[in-house]
């Protein structure tokens, strides 16, 4: 079972470069999200999606774009990388338990991004 | 705004010691509560969850947590820790609005 697959696992960017972090899930989950993990700050929500064609901002959306053209895929785009975006990025998906409560999240392996 | 507080950022225990990690959240409505564990170099994995019913929930590897609604708390416990429990532990709350909020995490180091 693949679950949630993230690519790449590691990436080094120069300031100003752009890139896309890929995320795919094969569990038919409606809800997908992107978090960044920084020491002492836990996981902070960047963007999330409640279904194909629907996305919304999380806690720290600036500098990131997302789209959800299919149920399976939820890519995260960095438009112009900055050193402050050096972090570990996790994609997660979950099933909607009720109209607005989700079950547990299934996480990808993470992408360690360094911006120099 | 909803928030999740984990009281200890770092905990150091000897093997066989008992563990309790505190977690409090700020939200008055219906919640789903979770504890996740992240072993060194790995992604987050679900340890246990509370949706409804018995407020004492049991998870994997001998962990349990108790939901005390009046205290807005969901503390994680284990009676006897092992070296392999060395990891970072995250409390998380889903409060509706499609958002799951994570605490800052507690790093547990168990001395062999």
Helix (H, G, I), strand (E, B) or coil at B70: helix
Coil, helix or strand for A86? coil
Residue B52 in this model has a pLDDT that exceeds 90: no
Does any CB of chain A come closer than 8 Å to the CB of residue B10? no
Nearest-CA distance from A78 to chain B in Å? 22
Indicate yes or no: CB of A97 within 8 angstroms of CB of B51. yes
pLDDT band at B107 (very low <50, low <70, confident <90, very high): very high
DSSP label at residue B4: E
Q: In Å, how far is B96's CA from the nearest CA of chain A?
A: 5
Phi then psi for residue B14, to 5 deg, are -90, 155
Structural tokens at position A12: 């080094």
Burial class (CB in 10 A: 0-12, 13-18, 19+), B71: exposed
Per-residue pLDDT of chain A in tens (116 residues, 90 and over written 9): 679 999 999 999 999 999 999 999 999 998 899 999 998 888 999 999 989 999 999 989 999 999 999 999 999 999 999 999 999 999 999 887 665 666 788 999 999 999 99
* Interface contact A42-B90, CB threshold 8 A: yes
Nearest-CA distance B47 → chain A (Å): 10
DSSP class of residue A73 equals: B
Contacts of A101 in chain B (CB under 8 A): 30, 32, 94, 96
**Percentage helix, strand, coil for chain A under 3-state DSSP, each rounded to 5:** 5, 55, 40
Mean pLDDT, rounded, of chain A: 92
Per CB-CB distance under 8 Å, the chain B contacts of A44 are: 102
Inform me whether the pLDDT recorded for B51 exceeds 90. Answer: no
Asked if the Cβ–Cβ distance from A33 to B100 is below 8 Å, we say yes
Per-residue model confidence (pLDDT) at position A42? 85
Amino acid B39: pLDDT? 94
């Amino acid at each position: 079972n693949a679950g949630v697959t993230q690519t790449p696992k590691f990436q080094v960017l120069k300031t100003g470069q752009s890139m896309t972090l890929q995320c795919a899930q094969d569990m038919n989950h409606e809800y997908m999200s992107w978090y960044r993990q920084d020491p002492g700050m836990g996981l902070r929500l960047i963007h999330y999606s409640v279904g194909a064609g629907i996305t919304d901002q999380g806690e720290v959306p600036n500098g990131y774009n997302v789209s959800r053209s299919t149920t399976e895929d939820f890519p995260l785009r960095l438009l112009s990388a900055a050193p402050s975006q050096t972090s570990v990025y996790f994609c997660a998906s979950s099933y909607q338990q009720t109209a607005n409560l989700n079950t547990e999240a299934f996480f990808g392996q993470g992408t360690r991004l360094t911006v120099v | 705004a909803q928030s999740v507080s984990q009281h200890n950022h770092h905990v150091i225990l000897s093997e066989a010691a008992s563990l309790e990690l505190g977690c409090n959240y700020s939200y008055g409505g219906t919640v789903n509560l979770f504890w996740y564990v992240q072993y060194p170099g790995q992604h987050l994995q679900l340890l246990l969850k509370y949706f409804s019913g018995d407020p004492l929930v049991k998870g994997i590897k001998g962990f349990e947590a108790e939901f005390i609604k009046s205290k807005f708390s969901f503390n994680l416990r284990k009676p006897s820790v092992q070296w392999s429990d060395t990891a970072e532990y995250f409390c998380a709350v889903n409060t509706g609005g499609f958002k799951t909020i994570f605490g800052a995490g507690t790093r547990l180091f168990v001395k062999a």
